[in-house]
Amino acid sequence: MLIGLDPRTTPELLYTLARMGHGDEIVIADRNYPAQWSAAGCLVKDVINYPGHDATVVADLITRLMPLDTFHSHSVLRMEIDNQPDTMSDVHQAVWDVLTPRLPEGGILSSIERQAFYRRAGGSFAVVQCSEDRPFGCFILRKGVIF
């Protein structure tokens, strides 16, 4: 047992976050995302499952424990809606609302085209799949440093 952790934090997620280093990326995938396919190219080959939880819950759990990066072009990427790269859906805004207060100074929230998201996610550290049912509810979070 550990004190101070949200009880929804699984051992798999905790171990994965502890193993990640600066600049490593973790994917939050919605329920329609091909998580097994992406995870095959990741360091952690097994998908970390969060059934019954949406993307906002998973983003909250991760960023309570993991700092977001400021040394690269982005701290977080959201999957763009096809042919509407500037449109923020309800799920995008909900996750942004969770992450914005946790961004370090200089942190950037950005977006990436869907097919490019798939390619990038396939080389990430791990994939966390949740039960998010809102379309395009997928994100990539880049781990920062603690000063």
Q: Which helix (H) or strand (E) holds 39?
A: helix 35-39
Report CA torsion sign: 54, 119, 136, 69: positive
From the candidates 24, 30, 54, 69, give the one annotated as an active-site residue: 69
In sequence order, which residues have a C-beta less than 8 Å from that of residue 37 and are 6 or more positions away? 122
118 has catalytic annotation: yes
- The DSSP call for residue 95 is H
Catalytic residue (choose from 6, 22, 90, 133):
22
Virtual torsion, Cα 1, 147, 112, 24, nearest 10 deg: -60
Please confirm, yes or no, whether 24 is among the known catalytic residues: no
CA distances from 99 to 66, 69, 108, 119, 124 (A): 11, 12, 10, 23, 19
Which residues are the active-site residues? 22, 69, 118
